[in-house]
Amino acid sequence: MSVALLIAVSVPCAVAQGVPPAVAKPDLLVMHNGAPVRNSAAFLEQRRPEIFLDVQENVYGRTPQAQVATTTHVTSTDTQALGGAAIRKQITVTFGDKLQREIHILLYLPAHAAAPVGVFVGLNFDGNQTVSADPGIDLSTVYLPDPALDNVQLAKELKGHIRQMAKPETRGTSASQWQVETIVRAGYGLATVYAGDIEADFATGIGYGVRPLLFKDKQWLPEADGWGSIGAWAWGMSRMVDYLETDPAIDAKKIIAFGHSRFGKTALWAGAQDSRFAMVISNESGQGGASLSRPQRAETVAHLNIAFPYWFCPNYHNYTGRTDALPVDGHFVLALIAPRPLYVSSAIDDPYSDPQGEFEAVVAASAVYRLFGKQAVDVTAMPPVEHPVGGVLRYHLRTGPHDVTAYDWQQYLKFADDQFKQQDSR
Ligand code: GCU
């Protein structure tokens, strides 16, 4: 028998072609003891706590519940921002006592709102000044890769970094991803923080961030099930909510966690832990976020652990090369948001985030939304591009690359309108 024939008869053909075989994903609606979950009460009271603990212990890690000393100062207010369309506030929140960390919230609110407004809350990659060309935004102090390592072929997150004030020419460089004017004209606010204020996004960034504020005495590193930087960033998003709840211009029942890519993963985990997020939006969060790990079509758990060893809890490293042993998968993270509104989106030219895996996770999580009588995604085939599907759990695939675009924001604003209208009419 030829070698080729031997392979063909002895292993499934997917393996013969180099594609890992599809592995059944864990079931959201079967308890650890094997009992089926038949209704929303059983989900909330029995199954959700199991899912939460499994996700916490194996993926993102435990967030310390201790309070840290916090002081808040509104450092500037401009009621004529964006040509009069917006109120811009900047708020500094200082955490800690002897050891201190500061985050700087940039908040835009519609200038002429008749009632308190809903607010999108999200972290930015490169400093608050990148979010809009508005010259009144304070330049963030950012971490930039050490230029001495420019020629070193290594992910920037693994290089050495230098902290410095962002350059003025970076103003507005991410404006298309934030669409601030569209958001305020639609009657919503936007609150954002440079993620590096919470924790710098590189391997030794833990030392510059908030995690040490919550370490126990003589603790140097997180425990095996302790939080990684995604946990720290999610903690920071909850601290933003602490402030937003105190601002009378904001409707605290309409706070939306939003995030793109690594901060999409963060928005999901923030929403899973903190029910004050009334709605969650995951824009192309990919592996370690909305996408399924098991198909291994795109980025894998192994890749995340090598390139970003500090994002997840140390336990997550147990699944490098052992994805099938993970007790959870992307649909578990999504189900933790239920029955609150959740929007997951993918882009066709972003195969690395595995659009198919994100869609399949949404389809699987839909079963949980249906238990609550909520409209979720009923189709099982990937919808055409720019054709959102679902209701309270919604999904779209758009044309174009890994990004946040005007199209994405149009959908998120419409989603928020639809969902909050239903909420208001109850
Ligand atoms: C990397 C990483 C992804 C992540 C993305 C991003 O590509 O591998 O998991 O989502 O960065 O945050 O842009």
Q: Which of 4-18, 101-115, 129-143, 332-346 has the lowest mean pLDDT?
A: 4-18
Q: How confident is the model at residue 148 (pLDDT cuts 50, 70, 90)?
A: very high
Q: Own/partner pairs for 74-77, CB < 8 Å, 24+ apart?
A: 75/104, 75/138, 76/136, 76/138
Model pLDDT, residue 423: 87
Distance 293 CA to ligand 1 centre (A): 14
Of the listed 238, 303, 317, 402, which one is catalytic?
A: 402
Look-up: residue for tokens 């393996």? 15
Reported pTM: 0.95
Q: Which domains does the chain have, with CATH numbers?
A: 6-425 (3.40.50.1820)
Structure tokens at 85: 């369309």
**How far is residue 301's CA from residue 318's CA, in Å, rounded to a whole number?**
10
Helices and strands, number each (H, E), in the chain:
13, 12
Q: How confident is the model at residue 141 (pLDDT cuts 50, 70, 90)?
A: very high
Q: Is 283 touching ligand 1 by the criterion CB < 6 Å?
A: no
Distance 261 CA to ligand 1 centre (A): 6
321: left (phi over 0), alpha (psi -120 to 50) or beta: left
Task: Read off the pLDDT of each residue in 23-44 and give the average, rounded to a whole number.
Answer: 95
The residue whose CA is least distant from atom 13 of ligand 1 is 261
What are phi and psi for residue 223, nearest 5 degrees?
-70, 175
The yes-or-no verdict on residue 63 having pLDDT over 80 is: yes
Structure tokens at 307: 């390139």
The yes-or-no verdict on residue 99 having pLDDT over 70 is: yes
The yes-or-no verdict on residue 389 having pLDDT over 50 is: yes
Model pLDDT, residue 17: 47
Task: Read off the pLDDT of each residue in 191-211 and give the average, rounded to a whole number.
Answer: 97
Q: In the chain, pLDDT over 70 holds for what percent of residues? A: 95
The yes-or-no verdict on residue 2 having pLDDT over 50 is: no
256 in Cβ contact with 121 (< 8 Å): yes
User: Is the bond preceding 49 in cis, omega lying within 30 degrees of 0?
Assistant: no
Of the listed 132, 229, 261, 345, which one is catalytic?
A: 261
- Alpha carbons within 13 angstroms on the beta-carbon side of residue 409 total 20
Task: Read off the pLDDT of each residue in 271-293 and give the average, rounded to a whole number.
Answer: 98
**How far is residue 273's CA from residue 390's CA, in Å, rounded to a whole number?**
24
**How far is residue 263's CA from residue 334's CA, in Å, rounded to a whole number?**
15
Distance 150 CA to ligand 1 centre (A): 20
Model pLDDT, residue 425: 87
Please name which of 105, 106, 182, 181 lies closest in space to residue 412, comparing C-alpha atoms.
Answer: 182
**Tell me: the pLDDT tens digits for 202-218?**
999 999 999 999 999 99
300 in Cβ contact with 371 (< 8 Å): no
127 in Cβ contact with 170 (< 8 Å): yes
Model pLDDT, residue 83: 98
132 in Cβ contact with 86 (< 8 Å): no
Task: Read off the pLDDT of each residue in 53-63 and give the average, rounded to a whole number.
Answer: 98
Active site residue 261: yes
DSSP β-ladder status, 393-401 and 342-349: parallel
Q: Is 58 touching ligand 1 by the criterion CB < 6 Å?
A: no
Best mutation site among 126, 201, 261 for ligand 1, i.e. most ligand atoms within 8 A of its Cβ?
261
Model pLDDT, residue 5: 34
Structure tokens at 140: 């963030």
Please name which of 96, 52, 105 lies closest in space to residue 77, comparing C-alpha atoms.
Answer: 105
Distance 402 CA to ligand 1 centre (A): 9
Task: Read off the pLDDT of each residue in 358-378 and give the average, rounded to a whole number.
Answer: 98
Model pLDDT, residue 23: 67
Active site residue 104: no
Model pLDDT, residue 122: 98
Task: Read off the pLDDT of each residue in 113-137 and give the average, rounded to a whole number.
Answer: 98
Question: What is the number of other CB atoms lying within 10 angstroms of the CB of residue 341?
Answer: 24
Q: Is 287 touching ligand 1 by the criterion CB < 6 Å?
A: yes
Model pLDDT, residue 22: 59
Structure tokens at 408: 């994405």
Distance 284 CA to ligand 1 centre (A): 9
Q: In the chain, pLDDT over 90 holds for what percent of residues? A: 91
The yes-or-no verdict on residue 323 having pLDDT over 60 is: yes
Q: Which of 67-71, 85-89, 155-159, 192-196 has the lowest mean pLDDT?
A: 155-159
Helix, strand, coil % over all residues of the chain, rounded to 5:
40, 25, 40
Three-state secondary structure call for residue 345: strand
Which atom of ligand 1 has the smallest separation from the CA of 285?
10
Residue 87: burial class (beta carbons within 10 Å; 0-12, 13-18, 19+):
buried
The yes-or-no verdict on residue 409 having pLDDT over 90 is: yes
Three-state secondary structure call for residue 355: helix
DSSP β-ladder status, 117-124 and 250-260: parallel
Cα distances from 184 to residues 177, 234, 278, 309, in angstroms, run: 14, 24, 19, 37
Q: Is 299 touching ligand 1 by the criterion CB < 6 Å?
A: yes
